[in-house]
């Protein structure tokens, strides 16, 4: 599974430090990052360069970047096992992203559904070009580390496909350089939906009150949000793809992702129960996830210096991999090496 560059198969992933992390981020990404960290050489990045594609408040970006890194650790990523780093600390990301941007066909970029969705909501004249080039930066993140596997929610599969296509194009034009990454979607909970609108993915930037449970919500508030989740007027509790049953399906998906049980077991547990029981069980499961995570997070944020030392080490480890890859790509593209 490893490639010619790495002795151990490598994993890379990232989350934007914009908004507050939700249980969707935890169940759809962080939880899986933790589970794979002993089987792979893992690089987990706080993608602050991506966060500025939608505009940012400087004070908030800096704060959220620290909070995100602390949340990675609180969720169970061990900085002595995995590499935790900040994307902008490694200039190679920006440099390779530019080189890839120049090779990325405009047509491919314009076809990205995430771009189309985001642009659809805004005025074409005023959106930043970074939103269009976002996938080239993500490709740089992945290709710099010769990542074999990229754990992401399935909404990112198209960006992964783009990364592979771009890597293939580079290798074809300039000779074998990049490793083609594969996507790794979590088994359950790849896509946690909004509690208030279960047909749209739970988002940390959605502002309505009952949309998301945030990882730092106090537990009584988290409970309330789950108890208020949108359901339907049927009675039976089972997994379903039908759009009108999306609310119940989402609650079951959250439950399954936390409990790591099969669909059959879970449907069995709720066979003679009502929606109220389901919501209570989901709320308890969510609270039991949040409590230890929040305790660890608060410790970390009060432990002056520790987080900085983790990010410093992460920067060194990431740089040691990214720099040689950037040099190789620059050489292949024909840049004159500085003497
Ligand atoms: N685009 C990803 C998301 O929104 C975040 C991301 C940026 C990422 N770079 C990455 C994910 C590299 C995996 C690998 O979820």
The 10s digit of each residue's pLDDT in 236-266 is 999 998 999 999 999 999 999 999 899 999 9
Question: Ligand 1, closest atom to CA 12?
Answer: 14
Most confident of 151-155, 171-175, 189-193: 171-175
- Single out the catalytic residue among 31, 64, 204, 279: 204
* Known catalytic membership, residue 118: yes
152 Cβ inside 6 Å of ligand 1: yes
CB under 8 Å, gap of 24 or more: what pairs does 313-317 form?
Answer: 313/79, 314/79, 314/83, 314/84, 314/85, 314/86, 314/89, 315/85, 315/86, 315/89, 315/90, 317/83, 317/85
Specify the pLDDT at position 113.
Answer: 92
pLDDT above 70: residue 51: yes
The Cα–Cα gap between 217 and 287 comes to 10
pLDDT at position 84 = 98
Q: What is the mean pLDDT of residues 145-153?
A: 95
Residue 11 has pLDDT above 90, yes or no: yes
User: What's the CA gap between 164 and 172, in Å, rounded?
Assistant: 12
Q: Does pLDDT of 32 surpass 90?
A: yes
Cβ of 131 closer than 6 Å to ligand 1, yes or no, is: no
Residue 201 annotated in active site: yes
């Amino acid at each position: 599974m490893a490639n010619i560059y790495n002795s151990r198969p490598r994993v890379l992933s990232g989350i934007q430090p914009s908004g507050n992390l939700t249980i969707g981020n935890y169940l759809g990404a962080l939880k899986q990052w933790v589970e794979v960290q002993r089987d792979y050489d893992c690089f987990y990045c706080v993608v602050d360069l991506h966060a500025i594609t939608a505009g940012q408040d400087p004070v908030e970006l800096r704060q959220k970047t620290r909070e995100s890194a602390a949340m990675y650790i609180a969720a169970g990523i061990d900085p002595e096992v995995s590499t935790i780093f900040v994307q902008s600390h490694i200039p190679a990301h920006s440099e390779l992203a530019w080189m890839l941007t120049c090779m990325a066909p405009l047509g491919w970029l314009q076809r990205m559904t995430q771009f189309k969705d985001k642009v659809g909501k805004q005025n074409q004249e005023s959106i930043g070009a970074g939103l269009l080039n976002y996938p080239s930066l993500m490709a740089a993140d992945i290709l710099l580390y010769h990542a074999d596997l990229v754990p992401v929610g399935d909404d990112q599969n198209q960006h992964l496909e783009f990364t592979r296509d771009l890597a293939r194009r580079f290798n074809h034009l300039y000779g074998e350089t990049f490793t083609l990454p594969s996507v790794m979607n979590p088994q359950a909970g790849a896509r946690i939906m909004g509690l208030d609108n279960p047909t749209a993915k739970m988002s940390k930037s959605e502002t309505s009150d009952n949309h998301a449970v945030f990882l730092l919500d106090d537990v009584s508030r988290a409970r309330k949000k789950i108890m208020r989740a949108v359901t339907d007027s049927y009675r039976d509790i089972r997994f379903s793809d039908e759009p009108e049953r999306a609310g119940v399906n989402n609650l079951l998906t959250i439950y399954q992702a936390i409990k790591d049980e099969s669909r059959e077991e879970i449907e069995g547990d709720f066979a003679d129960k009502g929606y109220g029981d389901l919501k209570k069980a989901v709320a308890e499961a969510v609270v039991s996830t949040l409590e230890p995570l929040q305790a660890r997070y608060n410790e970390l944020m009060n432990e002056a210096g520790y987080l900085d030392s983790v990010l410093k080490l992460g920067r060194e480890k990431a740089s040691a991999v990214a720099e040689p890859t950037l040099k190789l790509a620059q050489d292949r593209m024909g840049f004159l090496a500085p003497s």
